Amino acid sequence: MVLGQRETRRGAIIPTMPGLFITLFFVVFATTGGLWVLKSLAAKAEWHLDPAESVGVAGLLALGAIGTLTGTLGMIPGGLRWAMPLVGGAAVILGIVGFLKGAGAAWRFAKPEGNAAVFPLVLGLLAMFPLIAALSPSTMIDWDSIAYHMAIPKLWLESGQVERIYTIHHSNFPSTINALYLYGLTWGDQFGAKGFSWSILILGAIALYGLARRWAGPGHAWWAPLAFMASPVVLWESGTAYIDVAHGLFTGLAVLYTGELLLRLRESGKADSLLTALAVLNWGFTLGTKFTGLQTFAAAGLLAILFAGRKVGVAAKPVVVIALGAVLIASPWFVKNVMSTGNPVFPFFYEKLGGTGWDQFRADIYRNEQQTFGVGWAQLYSPKQPGETFERMREGRDFRMIGHAMLGLGYQPGRYVNPGQTQGAGFPTGAIGIACLAALVLAATSGRRELRINYVLAWTGLSLLLWFFLSQQSRYLTFLVVPSAVLVPMLWPTLRLAPLLGGLVGLQAAYTAFYLNTSQTTDQLRVLTGQVSPDRYEKERVGFASAAKVINENTTVTKVALFDEVFGFFLEKPYFWANPGHSDQIKFERIGDGVALAAEFRRQGISHAYVNFAFSAPEERSKWLSTAGLVPETPYTESERGLMLNNRELNWKVLLADAVAQGEMSPDGPPTGNSILLKVN
């Protein structure tokens, strides 16, 4: 597949399928190779993982290893051109060896008997919803998928290197899962990339079933994968290129194995090497997937010391091994940031760690955006002054609102999902689900006092507290679904309300399926049944898709600056996010007029600027067009111009309009209802 041939690839539904299925075959080989390695390493262990647990965990760890190795080697200039064939080829070869060594036999599952036979059927039905989504073009609901989760790997492929993309700060995030999308994009465009998300869902369900069967016995083990897949955020994201499900599985499994390690340590007085290894790998990939893994990792380490009790001396060694091993696995992503920005967690903690291409103005914008999620944070804004971002008056988080926050996670996280979080306009697919919360609450109140359960509950509580005071994005808590799902079968034998909990899980699954079906699946089926072409479907639901086609076909475009638009994934021309909050590539605060702005564009080789008006009020759009001299209506008043020019977040609008009015730039084609493409004269 050649990147850029999107139109010809999507003229019919058949081309959307091979990419995803190539990914599935790749995952099967990677999992089988990982299973062979895992069994070889654990051959001398005094106990063994459940067969299903082995398959699921081996697959997840294999994908984590592939992403980490590909990303690490890809940081070498030109490295992706040889790292991908090397790492990807090695994964396939290991898979072939695994099959030859008999590891492929693990894929054969016994047929469930009796009432248990209904569970695979329900799970299979649930899995169809994200599969249909993965085979359909992403829409604006998949915002981060097309804004950066797939866009950044695409840019890395074009440059042949995993590197900092100066105007997209997300390129500095840990990218173990995004690195997998390099493969999917190569052989199957976005459908190949999203195939990894769906595969991770299936591997996670298998792993949780096996772990629950080992911990709680076979009687109720099926409830674990059902509770996992019933979560709205889990099922929805598994048909997208979001990474929270993978991050949640690495984190959740790491916590569960750490809890089991502490239990065995208390019972036997010695650390278990297999559990230590599993904790190291899962924690390593947790840190290598999202920055939020740092806080959950720190919480788990602190609690491990506390729960070790009198065995703290014995526990110290495995805790240190886990900490050092996990940091070592994830370190390439942090070293990359230090080398490219000077800050290992760029763009966070700018006040303490700094970072090139960033300043306090942009740090304030980013922090404010993160803190607009959820409830309990009082924010008042004063008029913006020249040279300043804003003055913010904080009263801190109101701890009395924590109950509100918990309930919002369960059913309608309107204020926990963007866009529109400040108005409560989020959508239910961002919820972790009421069944997840119920399992955690019932476990905490059940009176059952088992160390590994108590450890998980303590970690859950501390993680929730950190989430409440930092950024209340609901998908940041996807990792809670994993341990809560395992708690369901563990509580069943002793919990009087077990049937109620099972009913909640069933109702949650039914609701999630119903909502996904009505909100997206019915519409996506129009693509899969050929009623509408993938290209037409995409263009009708992503405003920039049509504009991107025009830009791609415009031979005069050499580099385009995108204003209020982040879906550069659809472009085959060089582009960058031009709004002031993304980087300091264009220092708008130092530019005095439209002539100077156009001169800066020319200096940087920027031939065009694209302005998206979709998120502007109609009167704002009219004023901008009038100020630019494109329509005979009311331009900005002198007072409005002054306020905007003194506002570092908005001054680009006046400067860009002035550049057009002064003849330095001009429309390249007529403006559409929601956008305009400008060329530098």
What's residue 416's pLDDT?
67
Are 374 and 405 within 8 A, CB to CB? yes
Adjacent-strand bridge partners of 397: 377
- Give the pLDDT confidence score for residue 84 in this predicted structure: 97
* pLDDT at residue 616, as a whole number: 85
pLDDT confidence bin for 399, thresholds 50/70/90: low
Q: How many angstroms separate the CA atoms of 472 and 130, rounded?
A: 25
- Tell which wins on pLDDT, 633 or 667: 667
Q: Mean pLDDT across the stretch 663-681?
A: 89
Helix axes 594-603, 651-661, angle to 10 degrees: 90
189 Rama sector, left if φ>0, alpha if ψ -120 to 50, beta otherwise: left
Label residue 78 left, alpha or beta by phi (over 0 means left) and psi (-120 to 50 means alpha).
left
pLDDT over 90, % of the chain: 62
Compute the average pLDDT of residues 612-632.
89
R_g of the chain, CA atoms, integer Å: 26
CA 141, CA 145: separation in Å to the nearest integer?
A: 9
> Using 50, 70 and 90 to split pLDDT, how confident is the model at 423?
low
Rounded to whole angstroms, the Cα distance separating 76 from 160 reads: 9
- Give the separation between CA 476 and CA 560, rounded to whole angstroms: 33
Q: How does 138-160 read in b/e, with b if 16+ C-beta sit within 10 Å?
A: bbbebbbbbbbbbbbbbbbbeeb
Report the C-alpha dihedral over residues 302, 305, 307, 311, rounded to 10 degrees: 180
- Tell me if 591 sits within 8 A of 603, measured CB to CB: no
Residue 556 scores a pLDDT above 70: yes
Phi and psi of 419, rounded to 5°? -85, 170
**Mean pLDDT value across the chain:** 88
- List the domain boundaries for the chain: 6-107+120-526, 542-680
Average pLDDT over residues 41-64: 91
Q: How do residues 133-189 score in pLDDT, each as one tens digit?
A: 999 999 998 989 999 999 999 999 999 999 999 999 999 999 999 999 999 999 999
Task: Return the higher-pLDDT residue of 293 and 384.
Answer: 293
φ and ψ of 562, to 5 deg: -100, 125
Q: Bridge-partner residues for 394, per DSSP?
A: 379
For β-strands 392-397 and 377-381, DSSP reports them as antiparallel
The full DSSP string for 84-137 is HHHHHHHHHHHHHHHHHTTGGGGG--PPP-GGGGHHHHHHHHHHHHHHHHHTS-
Print burial letters for 354-388: b (CB count within 10 Å at least 16), e (below 16).
ebebbbebbbbbbbeeebbbbbbbeeeeeebeeee
Please, are residues 133 and 235 in contact by the beta-carbon 8 Å criterion?
no
What SS3 class is residue 668? coil
Look at residues 329, 278, 279 and name the one whose alpha carbon lies nearest to residue 38: 278
Question: pLDDT for 190-221, tens place per residue?
Answer: 999 999 999 999 999 999 999 999 999 988 99
**What span, in angstroms and rounded, lies between the C-alpha atoms of 267 and 238?**
38
pLDDT digits (tens, 9 = 90+) for 218-241: 889 999 999 999 999 999 999 999
Helix (H) or strand (E) holding 612: strand 608-612
Per-residue pLDDT band for 374 (boundaries 50, 70, 90) equals low
pLDDT of 282 strictly over 90: yes
CA distance readout (Å), 598 to 305, 464, 628, 649? 59, 48, 14, 19
1-18 confidence digits (pLDDT tens): 333 334 433 434 445 688
Residue 672: the pLDDT is: 72
As a whole number, mean pLDDT of residues 444-452 equals 83
Predicted confidence band of residue 377 (pLDDT cuts 50, 70, 90): low
Instruction: Say how far apart CA 328 and CA 322 lie, in whole Å.
Output: 10
Query: What is the number of alpha carbons within 13 Å of residue 276 lying toward its C-beta?
Result: 18
Statement: residue 424 has pLDDT above 50: yes
- Name residue 117's beta-bridge partners: none
DSSP collapsed to 3 states, 193-226 = HHHHHHHHHHHHHHHHHHHHHHHHCCCCCCHHHH
Q: How many CA atoms lie within 13 A of 290 on its CB side?
A: 21
pLDDT score at 385: 42
Task: Specify the pTM.
Answer: 0.92
